[in-house]
Amino acid sequence: MTPYSFKLPDLGEGTVDSEIVAWRVGIGEHIDADQPLVDMMTDKATVEITAPVSGKLVSMAGEPGDIIAVGAELALFATGKEETAQVDNTAINGPAAADNTRPGSGKSQQPVDGTGKPLTSPAIRRLARENNIDLNQVQGTGPNGRISRADIDAILQQAAQPSAGSAPGPVPEPLLNREEAHIIKLQGLRRKTAEHMTLSASRIPHFSYVEEFDVTELERLRQHLNGARQGRRTALTYLPFFMQALVKVVKEFPRCNAHFDDEQQVIKQFDPVHIGIAVQTRDGLMVPVIRNAEALDLWQCARALHEAAEKAREGRARREELTGSTVTVTSLGALGGIVSTPIINYPEVAIIGVNRTQQRQVVRDGVISTRLMMNVSSSFDHRIVDGYDAARAIRALKSHLESPATIFLQEP
């Protein structure tokens, strides 16, 4: 039997580490070469890594949420003709790991860590101690037999219930004193989003501006176009119109379509308009990119937007489809609220927030009338875009969307 140490490969440009998202296999399983082994995350993209060899999985480098450096051991395999035999853990992992099981509840062998203790986290060990629970008698239901919080909670719940025919007794002291908070490890896309938002909020001095848009005519045009081409085209939401109008606005205000490198103190101003669209997925916020929006018409924007959002929600978006935006638009749809203060997508310098529409009484030409109104929020990097220019840019966006025919006029 030959041990094979599989090192974490380089998963992309400049990648120095990656986060474990989910293991596809368990310790002791026989794995074929090219079989899915583990999902790893880097820069908001999840990559499936396959097994490099056939053999039995002896050890894994960590759990979901753990960060592994490129070049560090990710998994250890036992290969060769006798791979299905008992692995000599003493030779591979040292004396402490020689016996990786012990009798548990009598129903099966309980897996243990390298120190001979039942597999679980420090927080679970502490909870067990506080409640006088012997982990050696607990059969774990987590991955690879790991004892989880749910296993401990089930024991505590059972202990708190009176037996049949007996009067309820006092609640045990440990149950009265146990912590009400649940410790949840920040991992995966949620951790990446948290890191990116912290970077944006801490390094960019935000200037936020909110303007009221009358989208009555825009809504009338949107409904007309959708009705005229129903079933033949992707349905138009407000976002394709915003994208088309934004392309025109950044030609007049090019500083809004830029990146700022605060370490080199240089502005990278772009000619193409690569619009990031913030999309909420079950795993967290993603920002797929619609590239070269200036070359797309309204319907092409709608189709590109629909396809990008679907890929993000289904976890099919590639790394290159989630990077490289030059300006971002975010929308919460019907939940958009009255006002928001969007955080800039670092290293960009501008973001536009679309809020919900609302029927309001407004005065137009001295007459009160009911109009469909929308508050549009925005944030700018105040080091690059002055408040005056930010307000002018949003007013230009407002002008195009309140008179939507101007969106389709060709430049002279």
Residue 283 phi, psi dihedral angles, 5° rounding: -95, -10
Do the beta carbons of residue 343 and residue 378 sit within 8 Å? no
For residue 39, the Cα-to-chain-centroid distance in whole angstroms is 14
Do the beta carbons of residue 357 and residue 374 sit within 8 Å? yes
Q: For the chain, how many residues are written?
A: 412
284 contacts: CB under 8 Å, gap ≥ 6: 188, 189, 190, 192, 193
Got the DSSP string for 44-113?
Answer: TEEEEEE-SS-EEEEEES--TT-EEETTSEEEEEEESTTTTSPP-HHHHH-GGGS--EEE-SSSSEEEB-
Cα 237 to Cα 26: distance, rounded to the nearest angstrom: 45
212: β partners: 375
Cα 68 to Cα 61: distance, rounded to the nearest angstrom: 8
Q: Write the CA distances from 105 to 108, 110, 138, 246, integer angstroms.
A: 7, 8, 7, 65
Cα 324 to Cα 320: distance, rounded to the nearest angstrom: 8
- What does the CA dihedral 180, 190, 8, 346 come to, rounded to 10 degrees? -140
Strands 45-50 and 17-23: unpaired
At 128, list the tokens.
């067990």
Catalytic residue numbers read: 382, 386
Do the beta carbons of residue 43 and residue 323 sit within 8 Å? yes
Stretch (H or E) spanning 2: strand 2-7
Do the beta carbons of residue 1 and residue 79 sit within 8 Å? yes
Angle CA(375)–CA(257)–CA(393) in degrees, nearest 5?
A: 40
